[in-house]
């Protein structure tokens, strides 16, 4: 008993005492072995940096672990706090003058709101330089507000994916489609085989409706092209103009087609009440064949499901208009700082390096995390779906676009777009839907 007590106290002390030089030297010797990449940050002993995010257990462990080499080599201590009401809470805290040092913000739109509170601090030059070096230019634009740059991208996800069952495809002789037309033909073939090919679910508490916004963005990107897509996102063309209307109708050809949906889940309206987490599960039961959802859906399959090209489920790239087109819709998080203390800037810089991206991958041994950082060593990725996503992000032919609703003003991107999309799936016409969303766009 006594010995165990002493031991546990000792463990606690070493786990918490990253600041003491004694433990840091041994720990760094054990983990990264080499602190040369960290000497630029100087000695930050006794300094504390607080990080806040919406990422909670069990994914938070990988973040905390990826900070360890920085803590061990610089002597700084990083505290991580994740909670699921982060998006509401961070705004209240920023306005009240009580923000964390660094927040991992999941939407460019929210970054703009945080900048508007006056609490966010522009990123130091070292961060901007790293972003120029490691990311394609469009990534930098997402967090540039009024000419100032507010923080490097963190993780990324690929949204242009369709989940399917490789064994079903093999048994039924289906081929992975390479154009949008082929996707349609495949769906029709499945119908003639007596199946309901597609399944979907958009229920997600107050965010109910968002999966449809992703569908629409994917279709917009494919039918109208990236330039038109950008205009739509920035409201340079009206939400109810021809191209967005056409894109939503294209979604309707799938999601509002009673012959196509909702395999294993019900009729068209069941899309509205099925949680997005459950939306793809019928693939496992064989009552549904196709489910369009982002790479992070990999975490939704029940334990024991093999996610691989030859496993129970896998995903293929939602094809472009032609086989040569490669538009990819994605999402991601950004590290925004609310303090310009030297240790915070140093840590922010660390998070924008390839070193951190690779540390993060190493800290996520079961997969489920990638970055658009070009310095990311894709060969180190352990899960097939992460590899597929990273390949898509790093493919030179890829035209990447960020989730449009995440960039629109909050009144649209996290309210009317979701709500109208939900009304649309339960029967509202496409015209009324785009008209209502256009009407809700803030005037200022």
Q: Which of residues 165-204 bind other proteins (CB under 8 A)?
A: 203-204
Dist. CA 112–CA 108, nearest whole Å: 6
Do 318 and 218 meet the contact criterion of CB atoms below 8 Å apart? yes
Residue among 39, 306, 426, 429 that touches other proteins (CB under 8 A): 426
Q: Give the residue from 329, 305, 300, 302 showing the smallest Cα distance to 317.
A: 329
Q: Minimum CB separation from other proteins for residue 216, in Å? A: 17
Residue among 238, 299, 308, 362 that touches other proteins (CB under 8 A): 299
Residue among 264, 320, 327, 331 that touches other proteins (CB under 8 A): 264
Pairing of strands 399-402, 161-164: unpaired
Q: Minimum CB separation from other proteins for residue 35, in Å? A: 24
Residue 281 in contact with other proteins, rule: CB under 8 A: yes
Dist. CA 405–CA 410, nearest whole Å: 9
Dist. CA 158–CA 398, nearest whole Å: 12
Q: Which residue is it, tokens 């799938």?
A: 254
Q: Minimum CB separation from other proteins for residue 261, in Å? A: 11
Dist. CA 186–CA 189, nearest whole Å: 5
Interface with other proteins by CB under 8 A: which range of 171-179, 237-245, 282-290, 333-341?
Answer: 282-290
Closer residue to other proteins, CB minimum distance, 35 or 191: 191
Q: Which of residues 35-94 bind other proteins (CB under 8 A)?
A: 50, 52, 54-59, 61, 79, 81-85, 88-89, 91-93
Residues 82-114: b if buried by 16+ CB within 10 A, e if exposed: beeebbeebbebbeeeebbbbbbbbbbbbbbbb
Residue 206 in contact with other proteins, rule: CB under 8 A: yes
* Residues 6+ positions from 62 with CB-CB distance below 8 Å: 360, 363, 364, 369
Q: Left if phi > 0, otherwise alpha if psi is -120 to 50, otherwise beta: which for 38? A: alpha
Residue among 10, 286, 342, 365 that touches other proteins (CB under 8 A): 286
Residue 6 in contact with other proteins, rule: CB under 8 A: no
Closer residue to other proteins, CB minimum distance, 274 or 353: 274
Would you tell me which residues interact with other proteins (CB under 8 A)?
A: 15, 50, 52, 54-59, 61, 79, 81-85, 88-89, 91-93, 95-98, 100, 113, 116, 203-209, 262, 264-267, 269-270, 272-273, 275, 277-278, 281, 285-287, 296, 299-300, 302-304, 409-411, 414-415, 418-419, 422-423, 426, 442, 444
């Amino acid at each position: 008993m006594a010995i165990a007590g002493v031991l546990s106290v000792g463990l606690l002390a070493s786990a918490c005492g990253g600041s003491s030089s004694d433990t840091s030297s041994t720990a760094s010797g054990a983990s990264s072995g080499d602190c040369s990449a960290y000497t630029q940050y100087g000695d930050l002993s006794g300094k504390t940096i607080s990080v806040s995010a919406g990422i909670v257990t069990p994914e938070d462990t990988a973040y905390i672990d990826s900070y360890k080499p920085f803590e061990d080599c610089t002597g700084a201590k990083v505290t991580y706090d994740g909670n699921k009401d982060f998006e509401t809470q961070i705004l209240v805290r920023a306005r009240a003058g009580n923000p964390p040092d660094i927040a991992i913000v999941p939407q460019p739109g929210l970054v703009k709101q945080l900048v508007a509170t006056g609490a966010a601090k522009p990123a130091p030059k070292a961060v901007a330089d790293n972003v120029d070096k490691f990311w394609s230019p469009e990534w930098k634009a997402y967090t540039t507000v009024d000419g100032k740059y507010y923080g490097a991208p963190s993780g990324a996800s690929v949204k242009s994916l369709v989940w399917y069952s490789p064994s079903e495809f093999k048994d039924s002789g289906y081929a992975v489609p390479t154009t949008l037309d082929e996707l349609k033909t495949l769906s029709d073939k499945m119908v003639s085989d007596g199946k309901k090919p597609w399944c979907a679910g958009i229920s997600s508490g107050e965010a109910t409706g968002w999966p449809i916004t992703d569908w629409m963005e994917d279709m917009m990107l494919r039918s109208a092209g990236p330039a038109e897509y950008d205009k739509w996102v920035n409201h340079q063309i009206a939400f109810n103009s021809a191209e967005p209307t056409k894109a939503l109708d294209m979604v309707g050809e799938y999601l509002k087609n009673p012959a196509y949906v909702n395999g294993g889940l019900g009729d068209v309206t069941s899309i509205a009440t099925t949680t997005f987490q459950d939306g793809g599960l019928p693939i496992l039961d064989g009552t549904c064949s196709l489910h369009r959802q982002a790479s992070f859906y990999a975490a939704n399959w029940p334990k024991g499901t093999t996610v691989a090209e030859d496993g129970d489920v896998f995903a293929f790239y939602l094809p472009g208009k032609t086989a040569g087109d490669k538009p990819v819709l994605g999402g991601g998080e950004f590290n925004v700082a609310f303090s310009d203390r030297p240790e915070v800037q140093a840590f922010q810089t660390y998070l924008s390096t390839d070193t951190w991206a690779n540390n993060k991958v190493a800290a996520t041994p079961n997969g489920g995390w990638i970055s658009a950082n070009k310095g990311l060593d894709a060969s180190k990725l352990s899960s097939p779906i992460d590899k597929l996503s990273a390949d898509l992000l790093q493919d030179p032919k890829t035209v990447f676009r960020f989730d449009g609703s995440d960039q629109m003003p909050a009144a649209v991107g996290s309210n009317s777009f979701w709500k109208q999309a939900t009304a649309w799936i339960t029967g509202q016409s496409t015209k009324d839907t785009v008209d209502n969303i256009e009407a809700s766009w803030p005037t200022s």
